[in-house]
Amino acid sequence: MPQACQNLYTCYKKIYTSPFHPPNIAMIDSNPLATFPPLPKPLTRLAEAIDEAGGQAWLVGGFVRDSLLGITSHDYDIEVYGLEKKHLHTVAKRFGTIKETGKHFGICKLFTAEGCYDLALPRTEIKNAQGHQGFDVTPDHTLTLECATLRRDFTINAMMYNMHNQTLIDLHHGQRDLHDKILRHVSPSFHEDPLRPLRAMQFAARFQLTLAAETAALCQTMLDEAATLSRHRIWQEWRKWALAPYPEHGLTALKMSHWLSLYPMLDEQSLNPSQWQRTLKSCAHTRHLLHTQAPHFDELSTLALMFAALFSHQSQTTHAQIIAFLEAIGAPNAIRTIMIPLIENQTLHQMQSCTQAHVRHLAARLSPCSIEAWAIHTHATHPNDQEEQTTLDTWYMLARQLNIHQSKPLAIINGDMLLHAGIPTGPTMGQWLKRAYQAQLDGAFEETISAKAWIMRLIKSP
In this structure, the answer to whether residues 147 and 249 fall within a common structural domain is no
Tell me the C-alpha distance between 171 and 125, whole Å.
19
Res 15: pLDDT: 28
Tell me the C-alpha distance between 346 and 386, whole Å.
16
Express the helix, strand and coil content of the chain in percent, nearest 5 each: 55, 10, 35
Question: Does residue 24 have a pLDDT over 70?
Answer: no
Residue 189 in domain: no
Res 113: pLDDT: 84
In this structure, the answer to whether residues 291 and 236 fall within a common structural domain is no
Residue 188 in domain: no
In this prediction, residues 33-60 reach a mean pLDDT of: 88
Which of 184-193, 291-300, 309-318 is the least confident region? 309-318
In this structure, the answer to whether residues 13 and 50 fall within a common structural domain is yes
Res 138: pLDDT: 78
In this structure, the answer to whether residues 357 and 385 fall within a common structural domain is yes
In this structure, the answer to whether residues 422 and 387 fall within a common structural domain is no
Residue from 335, 314, 320 nearest 243 by CA: 335
Residue from 298, 343, 341 nearest 317 by CA: 343
Question: Does residue 369 have a pLDDT over 90?
Answer: yes
Question: Does residue 32 have a pLDDT over 70?
Answer: no
| Other beta carbons within 10 Å of 462 | 5
By the 10 Å C-beta count (0-12 exposed, 13-18 middle, 19+ buried), 19 is classed as: exposed
How far is CA 250 from each of CA 22, 211, 230, 259, 427, rounded to the nearest angstrom? Answer: 29, 9, 20, 11, 51
First to last CA, the chain: 92
Tell me the C-alpha distance between 327 and 333, whole Å.
8
Res 22: pLDDT: 32
Measure CA 118 to chain center.
Answer: 22
| Other beta carbons within 10 Å of 323 | 15
Res 40: pLDDT: 87
Residue 308 in domain: yes
Q: What is the pTM of this model?
A: 0.86
Higher pLDDT, 138 or 148: 148
Res 385: pLDDT: 83
Where a domain ends, among 224, 240, 262? 262
Measure CA 73 to chain center.
Answer: 17
Tell me the C-alpha distance between 453 and 153, whole Å.
69
Residue 290 in domain: yes
Residue 248 in domain: yes
Residue 246 in domain: yes
Res 127: pLDDT: 54
Which of 45-49, 74-78, 207-211 is the least confident region? 74-78
* Contact predicate 312/346, CB 8 Å: yes
Question: Does residue 137 have a pLDDT over 80?
Answer: no
Which of 28-32, 46-50, 57-61, 127-131 is the least confident region? 28-32
Contacts from 457-460 at CB under 8 Å and sequence distance 24+?
Answer: 459/421, 459/422, 459/423
Length of the chain equals: 462
Where a domain ends, among 232, 262, 292? 262
Tell me the C-alpha distance between 385 and 382, whole Å.
6
Question: Does residue 330 have a pLDDT over 70?
Answer: yes
DSSP 39-58: PPHHHHHHHHHHHHTT-EEE
Tell me the C-alpha distance between 194 and 211, whole Å.
16
Res 184: pLDDT: 98
Range of the domain at 292: 275-409
In this structure, the answer to whether residues 137 and 55 fall within a common structural domain is yes
Number of domains into which the chain is organized? 4
In this structure, the answer to whether residues 130 and 206 fall within a common structural domain is no
Identity of the residue numbered 453: A
CATH number at residue 76: 3.30.460.10
Higher pLDDT, 259 or 15: 259
* Contact predicate 382/349, CB 8 Å: no
Res 208: pLDDT: 97
Instruction: With H, G, I as helix, E, B as strand and everything else as coil, classify residue 413.
Output: coil
415-462, pLDDT tens digit by residue? 999 999 999 999 999 999 999 999 999 999 999 999 999 999 998 876
Residue from 313, 309, 314 nearest 338 by CA: 309
Residue 186 in domain: no
Question: Does residue 5 have a pLDDT over 60?
Answer: no
In this structure, the answer to whether residues 151 and 210 fall within a common structural domain is no
In this prediction, residues 136-142 reach a mean pLDDT of: 80
In this prediction, residues 273-280 reach a mean pLDDT of: 92
* Contact predicate 302/290, CB 8 Å: yes
In this structure, the answer to whether residues 283 and 362 fall within a common structural domain is yes
In this structure, the answer to whether residues 288 and 353 fall within a common structural domain is yes
Res 26: pLDDT: 33
In this structure, the answer to whether residues 154 and 222 fall within a common structural domain is no
CA atoms within 13 A on the CB side of 303: 20
| Other beta carbons within 10 Å of 28 | 11
The pLDDT confidence band at residue 319, using thresholds 50, 70 and 90, is confident
Question: Does residue 171 have a pLDDT over 80?
Answer: yes
57-115, pLDDT tens digit by residue? 999 989 999 999 888 888 899 999 999 999 999 999 999 998 987 666 678 899 988 88
* Contact predicate 216/210, CB 8 Å: no
Res 36: pLDDT: 78
Res 30: pLDDT: 41
Phi and psi at 41, nearest 5°, equal -55, -40
Residue 15 in domain: yes
The pLDDT confidence band at residue 134, using thresholds 50, 70 and 90, is low
Q: Classify strands 182-183 and 210-211 as parallel, antiparallel or unpaired.
A: parallel
Tell me the C-alpha distance between 366 and 344, whole Å.
9
Tell me the C-alpha distance between 78 and 60, whole Å.
6
Please state, rounded to an integer, the average pLDDT across all residues of the chain.
Answer: 87
In this prediction, residues 47-52 reach a mean pLDDT of: 94
In this structure, the answer to whether residues 306 and 337 fall within a common structural domain is yes
